Every structure is written in structure tokens, then in C-alpha cells.
A and B are shown apart, each in its own frame.
Chain A
Amino acid sequence: MDDWKPSPLIKPFGARKKRSWYLTWKYKLTNQRALRRFCQTGAVVFLLVTVIVNIKLILDTRRAISEANEDPEPEQDYDEVLGRLEPPRRRGSGPRRVLDVEVYSSRSKVYVAVDGTTVLEDEAREQGRGIHVIVLNQATGHVMAKRVFDTYSPHEDEAMVLFLNMVAPGRVLICTVKDEGSFHLKDTAKALLRSLGSQAGPALGWRDTWAFVGRKGGPVLGEKHSKSPALSSWGDPVLLKTDVPLSSAEEAECHWADTELNRRRRRFCSKVEGYGSVCSCKDPTPIEFSPDPLPDNKVLKVPVAVIAGNRPNYLYRMLRSLLSAQGVSPQMITVFIDGYYEEPMDVVALFGLRGIQHTPISIKNARVSQHYKASLTATFNLFPEAKFAVVLEEDLDIAVDFFSFLSQSIHLLEEDDSLYCISAWNDQGYEHTAEDPALLYRVETMPGLGWVLRRSLYKEELEPKWPTPEKLWDWDMWMRMPEQRRGRECIIPDVSRSYHFGIVGLNMNGYFHEAYFKKHKFNTVPGVQLRNVDSLKKEAYEVEVHRLLSEAEVLDHSKNPCEDSFLPDTEGHTYVAFIRMEKEDDFTTWTQLAKCLHIWDLDVRGNHRGLWRLFRKKNHFLVVGVPASPYSVKKPPSVTPIFLEPPPKEEGAPGAAEQT
């Protein structure tokens, strides 16, 4: 606008010129009265006309402009047909400065209400024992975290201490005990409660009831406690009603530099608590990682679907490791959340990723299965050009070379029709049975836990016949069924590129995790160059296996394979053992062997035509099932295959074996 220059051509300027010309003329004729009078009248008339023309012009312009802008009818075309999408938020009269908090503690029920809204209510039997902790935002009163620590059981108090220490100063803390919360409440935890200003907390006794409201690092706002009169009875129910004054929003927030990243961080940190240093005011942990790009990355354009439920802390850990992996492209990641949970969505938004929520359909395993289907369909819809998709779950750590591993192997999926998937997980790859990060296997089982799915397989085979909601099937069990797998195999690494850390889950518990997942080997070396990838193709792999078997030393079959001495104390050798396997589906001896080797024994995993490959004491250890395996021909005639008797049936397997 500054360089706008008046144009001499435009009429009004003409008018001004005329006027000055008139003035000179007027002076010339100054003595001729009649003429002067005439000129004056003329001037008046002229000026009047100018004014009128001007007014008219202004009015015209104005009308033209408003017409151009108004256009009443087109708005209908563009108007939101759905009407008001965002209902007006409920708002109290003016900013509220005080919260009215009610906390109830008793043997069988706890509840917490903030301003009349129940934010916690637990009266389920046999559940929710221990100390319930709620964190409120001191400026808004929003619930930022809700946890229960079963401090009747060991180690739960440690988790509570960890959690409470992570809560930012100034937040409003609410604690209430259900049933029993003191049995394993150790000194550290009691000291922490004391530091919060609690009187009764540090002295909490067997089956006492206790309700507490306080500000972290600040004053106690209310506390009630009732001692249990006897071992066999509980303290009286207590109901604590207290007012919590709200502080200003600025006080509740950290002063991070105003960047796009910190805006995300601020949004996240004003809503939720319990994510450690990501919200600390001084030197918060980064939320953008920018790992090195992979040279010649073949999976840069492969979409990544993260299947998640309501375990936001897991999701947080998972996404951190995923976004730190070399060669990751964040815009290819979509997180699918099973249910309308807010907190997982907040975590997704913190990392600036795409999140999609899924209305739950069906129950339990069928729900997971429907969630998988919707997520996979959505992934291929969102990325119509993608030939593959990476499928991950929220309770996995992702190896730093995860994408490098896929980039080096993905061409196999394109070139070899006999492949079903590529998976980052080796079911039998434990600390003591996996060794070589550059080594790949072909296996007949589908391990899941970080895998690549081919679009054509999904679109043409799996999607049309995916189990319907009324069938309560596990999706992965279904995918492993012969009707689906049709003899195809998966590529897996010897050393897994994912790590299953989830302890809480649909088919998961602490014992199960400890036994089967905790000691899993996980690659931490960046940039591993995979060895001889093309030898994983169908025919080439047979050649490779035959070569291996030919050079393998046959172990002493008279020894007990469960003994450590079964394998000599060497390094870098290849050994082979032959076990009894009458038919293709006879895994009696293998299961017993797996059991004593402390590897996955709940069903058969990791086999390729009756052959298992693993490492023992840094030696490559091959197990061949005789006579079912075609590799039985390599058995020297003198060797009798090992047979292990299954133990008499008394104890069942611990729960349904499944890794969702």
C-alpha cells in the first residue's frame, strides 16, 4: 500500500486541476463585475456538482463493495450442515477460584468428587485395593492423573514414590485408601508422605482408612484418618470435604521458550501428569529426536501403524523409542487407539503424530481383533500407494536399527511369494539363545510384535475373511492358522529388533512377562549390516540349511539335552542335535526341550520344516526333528533321536499363551 501512486488519469484529480485553472482565470477578470458574478455562480454550481458527484461515487463504491462481499445465498452452499458441532462448553459464572473436593475412604468403596463431578468411584469387589492417587491441575481443576498403588503388595510403594516424585510442584494431590494400603508401605514412601505434610499417612496402619488433599510442596488442604480398632476389622469410613483454592494459570505453567515444540509440550503438561521430565520446567527432556537418516532407506515411504489401547505410559515409552530409531519418518506413523481415551491421544499429540480413535466393537480378544482390522484397513486407505505397512504395538521398544533392518530385508517380501511377513521378533531369541544381530531366519510361525504386512496379502486374502466381531478369536492366532498362512513363512532376525515390555495387558501378567519376555534379547547396536540377505529366499535358504547341516558337528546324543554340558564349552562352532518328531505336528520332544532350555514352550515357534535354529554358549545350535523333517537325511545312521517324555499332566500352562 505504501507504494500506491495516484494516477493523473483519475477523474477527481482532473477536478482539482480545473479549480486552480478557474482561480487564475478569476483573477484576470477581477474587475468585470458581471463576469465575476457569473463566474462565482459558476464556481458555486461547479463545486456543488463536484460534491454531489463525489458523494454519489462514494455511495456507489460502498454499495459495490458490500454487494461483492455479502452474497447472501452462497453461504448456504458452504454452511456447516451438521449445525453446531461444538456444543457450548459448560461454564460457571465467571472464573472459579475455589474447588470443592470430596474424598471418601472405606473398606469397600472409594470416591473422589471435584465440584460435584465424580472423578473416581471404585466399589468393585476384589479390585482397586490400596492407595488411590489423583492429581489435579492447580489452575483449572482438571484431573491430570489417576493411579492406584496396591501397597498391600510388595514394590507397589516404590512405584508410588516414583510417581509422586514426578508430579510437578504446586499440583493438587488427592489420596484415598481402599481396603488396605499399609502392609507394604515402606519407610521411603512414608517419608515422602510426611514431606507432603501428611500427619496420618506416615502413621498409616493395618486396615486404616485415610483421605488426604494437599498441594505438592505446599500446604495440606485437608486430611482425615480412622484407625482400625482390631486386626480383623477396618477403620470407619471417612469422608473429607474441603475447599481447594485455585491459583492462576501462569503459576501453573513453566516458562519454556515459545516454539512449536514447546506449545505441544505446554498443552500436554497442562493436561496430564506422570510422564517424568518431559514436563519439568528446567531442562525438560526432548520430544523431538531427529535420529540420523538412513542412507538409501527403502522403508521411508512405508506407513507405520501403532496399535494402542489405554496404556498411555506404555505408548509414551514406545513412541519415544520409535521416534529415536534411525530412518523413522514421523509423517508415516499413525497411532490407532482402541476406544475414546483422552490420555493416549494427548501422548500422540505431544509427539505431533496422527492419532485415530476407534469405537470399541465386541469384547476382549474379538475387540482387539476388530481393532486390528480397522487399523490395517485405515492404514492402507490413508496410504493408497503403500505396498507394505509396518504394524507395531504400544508395549514394544523399537531397536535403533529397526528401520535399517527392514530397509535391508523388505525387498524379499516383494520378490519371494513364499513369504508371509517380516517380523522384528524372534520368539526363541532370549539372552542365552540369540547371538548374531546380522543373521536372519525363515520360520513357519508368525511372530508378530513388530512386523511388515504386504498390502496384497491383506487386501486380497485377509481383509475379506477377517474374523467377524461375534467370533472371539485372537487375530494373531487366526493369522497363524494354516487356512490363512498357506505354507508361507516369515523372515525374522536372530536378535530381535523389538522388545516386549508390557506387563499389564489382556493376556499378560507379571508372572507371564517375567517368564517369557523379560530375558528376551534386544539389539542395541546401530547400523547392523545384515548378512547375505538374499540367501533367505526360498531355494537359496534350502541350500544354506544343507550347507549348515553338512558342516555341523553332531552332538553326543547319549547326554541329557537339558544339561548344560550337552553343548561343549566352545565358541563359534555349529552343532546339530536330532530329536524325535514322528509327524509334522508332533512336537512332544521339542516342547520338553524348549522347556528345559527356558525358551518359548507354550506352542511351537520358530521352526522351519522341522528345524530349529538358535544359539547356545555362542555356538550355533541346530535341532532337527526326525523323521518328519526333510533334513533327517543328514542324520548319521548311528544316532538315535532324542526323546523326552512329557511330564504327567497335573499343572496346566499358566494362562492362555498369547502375546497381545
Chain B
Amino acid sequence: MSRINKNVVLALLTLTSSAFLLFQLYYYKHYLSTKNGAGLSKSKGSRIGFDSTQWRAVKKFIMLTSSQNVPVFLIDPLVLELINKNFEQVKNTSQGSISQCTFFCAPRDFTAFALQYHLWKNEEGWFRIAENMGFQCLKIESKDPRLDGIDSLSGTEIPLHYICKLATHAIHLVVFHERSGNYLWHGHLRLKEHIDRKFVPFRKLQFGRYPGAFDRPELQQVTVDGLEVLIPKDPMHFVEEVPHSRFIECRYKEARAFFQQYLDDNTVEAVAFRKSAKELLQLAAKTLNKLGVPFWLSSGTCLGWYRQCNIIPYSKDVDLGIFIQDYKSDIILAFQDAGLPLKHKFGKVEDSLELSFQGKDDVKLDIFFFYEETDHMWNGGTQAKTGKKFKYLFPKFTLCWTEFVDMKVHVPCETLEYIEANYGKTWKIPVKTWDWKRSPPNVQPNGIWPISEWDEVIQLY
């Protein structure tokens, strides 16, 4: 009896065991193959890794886009970094001599590509063809931010992101749109209600958490793992842009409400001032960009952007902020060469530096240098007559891109905190008389320059 029982038990166990083995096979097939991708296919001899799902998904995607003439380029930071490290390999190899899948087979959930929307001629049929090729695609659309600045226009939605999944790997196609100011913009990947949250692990996407702004990259054709792809000519420049690419839109709706309340100033003088201020800002931006000095809109210019998406016509100057660690001694010379002579220089690099340049038509360019402390930032002011020093305190902030008078410029991401520090809670109400020594709520007296230093720290031209 017991023997039979034992045999039965044995048989049963064997059965269950094999059943579970089958199960296991199933799971390996479906979920683990991505992770072990490279290791799985030794059988192909010299062509290592070329049947990983990543590589196959990318290959199919490239086939699709080149057959449909969709000019995509690779923007995946991981892959671009690898390419940058082994640049010789992508330049000089043809498909035949590749022995290993180095770039596209690295384990990851997504490969990111980008596309300039205005170069895309046949968007309509593309989706269908992708699905016929086995991709499962998700299209994220939104309204066009380029129409936001204009009263009450509503148009056809524009595509922002495509996510196309093939087996376990997904291609993230970021759609770049041209914006005024010669840069490319991509939108926020925002899921509508009916979209399956588990379609792909959205959190791991490299692009789309915020809208982003990028310099328009020049492209080059390379062969990566046997696939012809376009990549930015300077891959590292692009990769470095990614973490700082966050873009914030001007608050057009609030700006319209502001103008409804306070009416825009459209007098000849206001139009003229705006024009010269815009030109001055463009010139300053050009000069600083050439030097590689990052800057942001500060004080009144920042307030104008935030409150009314325009230059405040009675502000009389253009204000920029620069972190003191980015200070370069040739800034002054560069501005002089650009036709903006130094008007005054207050403070010194170690303390309260402030530069002022004379633009055309009596418009002044003020550059405030910001100093970072452990829990706040500050910039300094100096009264020329008395040598009194002032300190303007700001909560810590980071920089974001925005568009202002047809330019891509930085503003503090935490704009509201920045503006409230500088102008108080009532910043929404226009004030025409402003005393820079007394009016700002964040001003603090900061002692007085010793007379011996005056020659250095108070320079008027």
C-alpha cells in the first residue's frame, strides 16, 4: 500500500513539478527576457545581443520611420552617452563587422527618439502602419501653447508624445515643436483619464515629466549597432541640456485678466520703449550666451514676464540676474564691444557686485549678481552718494526656460516666491513709483562701504 502511495505521490510531485516548470518557462519568456536580453542568445555566435527586444524594437522603429520618411533622431541620454564614449565605433563600422550589440541592447525600458513636427509630412497614416507592424502605440496630444498667448484661439490639438511598445520595449517619440526664439519645445506628457496607467512604466520616461526647451540641434548620420540613425552632432551638449530643460509657459490667461483690469499702455512712447527694451534684452542675451554665462530675468523684467507676459512700459530698464560663480571678468568688455558701455559698477566680486550698462534710447541694462548662502540667495545694492550697502534676500531657486519677447530665456522656476520676495504679496497691482532702497520687502541695510574702498566699489561713468 505504502509503496503504491509513495509512487502515486512521486508521480504527482513529478507532474506538479513539470507543470510549474512550464509556468516558469512562460514567465521567463514574457518578463525576464528583457533583463537577461544580452545573455540569452549566445547561440548566434559572433552577433551578440542582436535579438534582444530593445534592439529589435529599435530596428523595427527605424525601419518604419525611414520607410515613411519620418525624420526622427535619437535623443536617448543613456544611448547618446554610450555613443559619445565609443564614438569611433559608430563612425567607422558597417553592419557586417559588428560583433556585439553595444548601444541599443543596454537594459532599459525605453529608447527615446525625437522628431521636429514641422518636418513631418504624413502624420495621418503613420499610426496605422506602426500598429500593423506590431507596435502598440499611445498618442498624447494637447492644445498648442503657441496659441495660448493670443486671445481666445482654439485649434486642432498637436501631438506631443508617441509611445510605441513592441513586446516589452517601448519607443518614446518626443515631438518637438518650433517656437519663436529659435528653439525646440516639447510638451508635458499628461495622461488623460481613459489611458491605461500600466501601458508602460511612465515614471521611468526620460522626457515629458515637464515641458522642455532645447537648442535646435544639428544632426549627423551614424551607424549604431548596425542601424542607421540620426543623432545630434554634439551628443553631449544635448545630454547636458536634458536635466535643465524644464520649460514654463507664461501665464497668458492671468496676463489677459491683468490687462482687462489695468488696460495696456499703447501710447507711442510705450511702444517705443518696449521695442528698445526688447532689442536691448536680445543684445544682452546674445552677448552673455556667447560668453556662456547663464542669466535670468530679474526684478522688473521678471515681474513683467510673470504678470503681463510683456515688458512693463514704465520700468525704464532691463534687469538680469547672474550667479556670482558664473561671473567672468570679460563680461564688461564683451558688452562694450556689443555697443553697451559700462554705466556704473558697484561692489566687487566678493561682495554685492552689480553692473549697469547704457543701452540705446536711454534704456539701461542692470545686471545683479546673486550670492548663495545655505538657506537663501541674495544680491546687493549700493547707494552711490552715501556708500550705503543694501541686501536683497530671496528664497533659493533653480532656473527654468521660458519664452519672452520671442526669446528663450531663464527665469526662476519658483517664480512666485521670487516675485513675492521682491515685490510682496501685492505684486499684482501696478506701482509706478518704486524706491529700490525702501520699497522692496526683501531689502535689508547691509552696512556701509569703508571710504578707502569707494574708488573700487563705486565706479560711475
List A residues at the B interface (Cβ < 8 Å).
1, 3-7, 9-10, 12, 15-16, 19, 40, 43-44, 47-48, 50-51, 54-55, 57-58, 61-62, 64-65, 68-71, 73-75, 77-81, 84-85, 260, 331, 334, 336, 352, 354-359, 361, 370, 374, 377-378, 380-385, 459-460, 464-465, 468
Indicate if B31 sits at the interface (CB-CB under 8 A).
yes
**CB distance A382 to B144 under 8 Å?**
yes
Q: Smallest CB-CB separation from A358: which chain B residue?
A: B153
Q: Closest CB of chain B to A389's CB: distance in Å?
A: 13
- A78: contacting residue among B121, B150, B190, CB under 8 A: B190
Q: Closest CB of chain A to B336's CB: distance in Å?
A: 27
Query: Which 8 A-B pairs give the minimum distances between C-beta atoms?
Result: A359-B152, A74-B203, A356-B155, A54-B20, A47-B13, A384-B180, A381-B146, A78-B191
Cβ contacts under 8 Å, A51 to chain B: 13, 16-17, 20
**CB distance A465 to B271 under 8 Å?**
yes
Cβ contacts under 8 Å, B181 to chain A: 384
Q: Closest CB of chain B to A350's CB: distance in Å?
A: 13
Cβ contacts under 8 Å, B125 to chain A: 260
A-B contact pairs, 25 of them (CB 8 A): A1-B29, A7-B40, A16-B18, A16-B21, A43-B10, A47-B13, A51-B13, A51-B16, A51-B17, A57-B27, A64-B31, A77-B202, A80-B192, A260-B128, A331-B118, A355-B155, A359-B151, A359-B152, A359-B154, A377-B149, A378-B153, A378-B155, A382-B144, A383-B178, A384-B406
Please tell me the number of chain B residues within 8 Å of chain A, measured between CB atoms: 65
**CB distance A12 to B25 under 8 Å?**
yes
Report B1-54 residues with CB < 8 Å from chain A CB. Answer: 6, 9-10, 13-14, 16-18, 20-21, 23-25, 27-29, 31-33, 36, 39-43, 51
**CB distance A10 to B10 under 8 Å?**
no
Q: Closest CB of chain B to A383's CB: distance in Å?
A: 7
Q: Closest CB of chain B to A372's CB: distance in Å?
A: 12
Cβ contacts under 8 Å, A58 to chain B: 20, 23-24, 27
Known: A19-B17, A65-B31. 4 other contacts (CB 8 A): A5-B41, A48-B13, A78-B190, A78-B208
Cβ contacts under 8 Å, A383 to chain B: 118, 178
**CB distance A78 to B10 under 8 Å?**
no
Indicate if B147 sits at the interface (CB-CB under 8 A).
yes
**CB distance B156 to A356 under 8 Å?**
yes
**CB distance A55 to B20 under 8 Å?**
yes
- A356: contacting residue among B51, B154, B208, CB under 8 A: B154
Complex Cα gap A129–B195 (Å)? 51
Cβ contacts under 8 Å, A62 to chain B: 27
Q: Closest CB of chain B to A370's CB: distance in Å?
A: 7
* B195-218 near A? 1/0 per residue, CB < 8 Å: 001100111000011000000000
Q: Closest CB of chain B to A429's CB: distance in Å?
A: 34
**CB distance B27 to A354 under 8 Å?**
no
List B residues at the A interface (Cβ < 8 Å).
6, 9-10, 13-14, 16-18, 20-21, 23-25, 27-29, 31-33, 36, 39-43, 51, 118, 121, 124-125, 128, 144, 146-147, 149-156, 167, 178-182, 189-193, 197-198, 201-203, 208-209, 266, 271, 274-275, 406
Cβ contacts under 8 Å, A79 to chain B: 190-191, 193
Complex Cα gap A528–B74 (Å)? 44
Complex Cα gap A84–B20 (Å)? 45
Q: Smallest CB-CB separation from A377: which chain B residue?
A: B150
Q: Smallest CB-CB separation from B201: which chain A residue?
A: A68
- A54: contacting residue among B10, B24, B201, B209, CB under 8 A: B24
Complex Cα gap A4–B52 (Å)? 10
**CB distance B201 to A71 under 8 Å?**
yes
Cβ contacts under 8 Å, B124 to chain A: 260, 352
Complex Cα gap A48–B20 (Å)? 12
**CB distance A44 to B20 under 8 Å?**
no
Q: Closest CB of chain A to B206's CB: distance in Å?
A: 13
Cβ contacts under 8 Å, B24 to chain A: 12, 54, 57-58
- A80: contacting residue among B6, B151, B191, CB under 8 A: B191
**CB distance A381 to B149 under 8 Å?**
yes
Complex Cα gap A80–B179 (Å)? 24
Q: Smallest CB-CB separation from B6: which chain A residue?
A: A40
Given the known A-B contacts A357-B153, A380-B180, A381-B147, are A50 and B17 also in contact in the complex, defined by CB atoms under 8 Å? Answer: yes
**CB distance A381 to B21 under 8 Å?**
no
- The prevalent SS among residues of A at the interface is helix
Q: Smallest CB-CB separation from B117: which chain A residue?
A: A331
Complex Cα gap A120–B147 (Å)? 34
Q: Smallest CB-CB separation from B16: which chain A residue?
A: A51
Q: Closest CB of chain A to B404's CB: distance in Å?
A: 14
Q: Closest CB of chain A to B256's CB: distance in Å?
A: 11
**CB distance B29 to A4 under 8 Å?**
yes
Q: Closest CB of chain B to A10's CB: distance in Å?
A: 7
Q: Closest CB of chain B to A473's CB: distance in Å?
A: 14
Given the known A-B contacts A1-B29, A356-B154, are A71 and B21 also in contact in the complex, defined by CB atoms under 8 Å? Answer: no
Cβ contacts under 8 Å, A71 to chain B: 201-203
Cβ contacts under 8 Å, A4 to chain B: 29, 33, 40
- B121: contacting residue among A43, A47, A331, CB under 8 A: A331
Q: Closest CB of chain A to B304's CB: distance in Å?
A: 15
Most buried by B among A10, A74, A378, A384: A384
Given the known A-B contacts A51-B17, A77-B203, A465-B271, are A6 and B25 also in contact in the complex, defined by CB atoms under 8 Å? Answer: yes
Complex Cα gap A68–B193 (Å)? 20
Q: Closest CB of chain B to A323's CB: distance in Å?
A: 15
Q: Smallest CB-CB separation from A52: which chain B residue?
A: B20
**CB distance A81 to B147 under 8 Å?**
no
Given the known A-B contacts A43-B10, A361-B151, A374-B150, are A77 and B20 also in contact in the complex, defined by CB atoms under 8 Å? Answer: no
- B154: contacting residue among A6, A69, A260, A357, CB under 8 A: A357
Complex Cα gap A5–B36 (Å)? 12
Q: Closest CB of chain A to B247's CB: distance in Å?
A: 15
Cβ contacts under 8 Å, B128 to chain A: 260
**CB distance A74 to B10 under 8 Å?**
no
Given the known A-B contacts A356-B154, A370-B151, are A74 and B202 also in contact in the complex, defined by CB atoms under 8 Å? Answer: yes
Cβ contacts under 8 Å, A260 to chain B: 124-125, 128
Cβ contacts under 8 Å, A380 to chain B: 180
- A384: contacting residue among B144, B182, B209, CB under 8 A: B182
Q: Smallest CB-CB separation from B9: which chain A residue?
A: A44
Cβ contacts under 8 Å, B146 to chain A: 378, 381-382
Cβ contacts under 8 Å, B41 to chain A: 5
- A12: contacting residue among B21, B29, B151, B266, CB under 8 A: B21
Complex Cα gap A248–B91 (Å)? 61
**CB distance B6 to A44 under 8 Å?**
yes
Complex Cα gap A75–B201 (Å)? 10
**CB distance A80 to B190 under 8 Å?**
yes
Given the known A-B contacts A47-B14, A69-B198, A85-B192, are A384 and B179 also in contact in the complex, defined by CB atoms under 8 Å? Answer: yes
Cβ contacts under 8 Å, B14 to chain A: 19, 47
Complex Cα gap A75–B36 (Å)? 28
Cβ contacts under 8 Å, A81 to chain B: 190
Cβ contacts under 8 Å, B42 to chain A: 7
- B209: contacting residue among A15, A77, A358, A468, CB under 8 A: A77
Complex Cα gap A464–B128 (Å)? 45
Complex Cα gap A78–B17 (Å)? 43
Q: Closest CB of chain A to B230's CB: distance in Å?
A: 19
Q: Closest CB of chain B to A247's CB: distance in Å?
A: 30
**CB distance B190 to A361 under 8 Å?**
no
Cβ contacts under 8 Å, A465 to chain B: 266, 271
Given the known A-B contacts A65-B31, A354-B155, A378-B153, are A5 and B40 also in contact in the complex, defined by CB atoms under 8 Å? Answer: yes
Complex Cα gap A470–B16 (Å)? 84
Complex Cα gap A12–B18 (Å)? 10
Complex Cα gap A71–B150 (Å)? 38
Q: Closest CB of chain A to B227's CB: distance in Å?
A: 19
Q: Smallest CB-CB separation from A69: which chain B residue?
A: B198
Cβ contacts under 8 Å, A7 to chain B: 36, 39-40, 42
Cβ contacts under 8 Å, A352 to chain B: 124
Q: Smallest CB-CB separation from A264: which chain B residue?
A: B124
Cβ contacts under 8 Å, A370 to chain B: 151
Complex Cα gap A378–B148 (Å)? 9
